[in-house]
Chains A and B, each alone.
Chain A
Amino acid sequence: MSKVAVHFDLNGKARSEFVDGGATLLDLLRTRIGDMSPKAGCLQGSCGCCTVLIDGEPRLACITLAEDVQGREVETARGLPDGAGRLHPLQQAFIDGFATQCGFCTPGMLMAAKALLNRKPNPTRADVIDAISGNFCRCTGYAPIIDAILAAAEAGRAA
């Protein structure tokens, strides 16, 4: 199978990888690079556990071809803390608000929320619900997650 060279930014760092034609971005991140934060929950674009940002937009890594990130910026939950290792306000809000239980949906949920706050720092509750409408959670229920995202937006405004 022919290999394709893909040059892209992952969490602010330049990467070059050879990928199999037809490999997904999720394969590239998990199997080649070892960033396990995007999760494989369904591999059919329905659960949102593999959500990453491509040029700031939320995308499902399981149904995105690895070749499609050529020259683009990819962000995963592993890149959320700042350079000094301090948690992102969303991460802190998820901790403070008991917005995670088993943790499997959490990285994807955080990335969907980050895309929202990038686009709209002062979201309404309806905006938050819409932003995570593609992300399944089976443990906590959605209310603590929605509250945490709103709390993070609030913290961002205060900062």
Chain B
Amino acid sequence: MMRIEKSYFADERDDDLHEIGQPRQRADVLGHVTGITSFYADRNHEGMLHLKMVRSPHHHARIRSIDISAAAAHPGVRRVLLAADVPHNIYTILSFIGILPEDEPVLAFDKVRWMGEPVAAVLADSPRAAAEAVALVQVDYDPLPAIFDVEEAMQPGAPLVNEYHGQNWYAYDSGDARKVRLGDVAKGFAEADVVLEQRYQSSPIEQAPSETSGCVVVPDQNGRFTCYTGTQAMFFSLTNAAIILDVPESKLHFVGGTVGGGFGGKTDTVCEPIAILASMVTGQAISFQFNRHEEMQMSSPRAAERIYLKHGVMKDGRIVACEVRCYVDSGAYSRLSPYGTNKAAAHFPGPYTIPNVAIDAYCVYTNRTPSSAMRGFGCTIGDFALEVQMDKLARLIGMDPLEFRFINAYRDGDMKAHHQPTEGAALIECMQEAAKIAHWPVDPRFMAMSSRKGS
């Protein structure tokens, strides 16, 4: 059962919390256990059409031509949408707050840049007719060399993934990488007793919600469209749909908030704009639901990362230098990966005070599925690498891994790598409590430490 340990920082708290630490029922629990909770797909509409995407079978290819005649003539098919049908055929997740780059089409027209990229949207009376017609759309592709490795993608002569950028990486205002600098790492490594450099690599991770991504759109009679959606980012989706469709937001009524599992995977606006457009051009209700294959393969995962960590430590346990090179695999488009890479740069070198730090975090484009949000993206994989590295460093100098962390833990007033002083630190106290619960022997001098210096 949950226990709140109140002996730490007792003088900093009023202890007037009434909710924290108390079990409170979810407001929606009765609907959940009775099956009445309404998810986006839980509605039927007379004449509802089913949208299914034609997707690229190539990782990278030029589109020579698209022939929709056979698909459009297939029984049950109402319409096939192409890039030219989309009013503003550019998706940029944060363009509404002025954050670019506008590097991704809603429907591809000149090139496909990842396997699964949408090229056309088929609207049909039944899911079956839609699936049959998808197979009848003839796209003439000219395959191009593809690139799947972040470091190879940055080499001269690598195939160019995304022409918007002119290079296979995002250009930050600090240069090719998001850079963080503190002290003098060369001096730090020269002083160090031991230096360890390691390479860490993660795979893309799919959020895999039980409910697949999608939406149901119903045309109102007053020129408005109601969009029932499973999005986790209601206002991103509303505003992005309005931008892509070139209509005022007042023409769109978004209904959501009930999400059948998201974990970050329902943050991008990939279903609503095209489904609303489909409703606009047909006057019918539209259902667009990813199937399980699309959810696993086409929805944006957590980015794969490659991280090189180099630490210099003294035999007494102090880390004196840390150098990080981190490559975040954004896939073919940006979505939230330039932002995630920023977070990665800010998150290194972890909750440790190190006087000499140099961090270069690159957001790299490859011909893989675009990556985006997932639970702590930008930080989680870095934490994995950092904590494995901490254990290795402790072993190298023959020190207990927890005591090694006590020596280096950040405390209030310490300068972090990105030049912000530490405030409200509680790492030492968390480690003390964890050591007690786990019966992990720790030297009394560490158990007497505090995150508040001087106390």
Please report A residues at the B interface, Cβ cutoff 8 Å: 30-31, 34-44, 46-47, 49, 76-78, 80-81, 87, 91, 94-95, 98, 100-107, 110, 136-139
Asked if residues B25 and A95 are in contact (CB atoms below 8 Å), the reply is yes
Please report B residues at the A interface, Cβ cutoff 8 Å: 23, 25-26, 28-39, 41-44, 208-212, 258-263, 289, 291-292
Asked if residues B34 and A138 are in contact (CB atoms below 8 Å), the reply is no
| Chain A residues whose CB sits within 8 angstroms of the CB of B39 once the complex forms | 36, 39, 104
Q: A-side binding surface: helix, strand, loop or mixed?
A: loop
Given contacts A43-B291, A95-B29, contact A136 B210 (CB under 8 A): yes
Asked if residues A107 and B292 are in contact (CB atoms below 8 Å), the reply is no
Given contacts A43-B291, A95-B33, A98-B23, contact A103 B260 (CB under 8 A): yes
Asked if residues A39 and B211 are in contact (CB atoms below 8 Å), the reply is yes
| Chain B residues whose CB sits within 8 angstroms of the CB of A81 once the complex forms | 34
Nearest-neighbor residue (CB-CB) of A47 within chain B = B210
| Chain B residues whose CB sits within 8 angstroms of the CB of A40 once the complex forms | 41, 289
| Chain A residues whose CB sits within 8 angstroms of the CB of B262 once the complex forms | 102
A39-B210, A104-B211, A106-B32 given. 8 additional CB < 8 A pairs? A34-B44, A36-B35, A47-B210, A47-B292, A95-B25, A102-B32, A102-B260, A106-B35
Asked if residues A138 and B263 are in contact (CB atoms below 8 Å), the reply is yes
Asked if residues A46 and B34 are in contact (CB atoms below 8 Å), the reply is no
Asked if residues B208 and A138 are in contact (CB atoms below 8 Å), the reply is yes
Given contacts A95-B25, A103-B28, A139-B261, contact A49 B34 (CB under 8 A): no
- A49 CA to B39 CA, complexed, in Å: 13
Cβ distance A114 to chain B, nearest Cβ, rounded Å: 12
| Chain A residues whose CB sits within 8 angstroms of the CB of B258 once the complex forms | 103
Q: Which of B26, B35, B211 contacts A78 (CB 8 A)?
A: B35
Asked if residues A107 and B35 are in contact (CB atoms below 8 Å), the reply is yes
Asked if residues B211 and A80 are in contact (CB atoms below 8 Å), the reply is no
| Chain B residues whose CB sits within 8 angstroms of the CB of A87 once the complex forms | 33-34
Cβ distance B46 to chain A, nearest Cβ, rounded Å: 11
Asked if residues B261 and A138 are in contact (CB atoms below 8 Å), the reply is yes
12 pairs from A and B in contact (CB 8 Å cutoff): A30-B44, A37-B35, A39-B260, A42-B212, A46-B292, A87-B33, A100-B29, A100-B32, A102-B32, A102-B210, A102-B259, A104-B209
Asked if residues B292 and A31 are in contact (CB atoms below 8 Å), the reply is no
Cβ distance A136 to chain B, nearest Cβ, rounded Å: 6
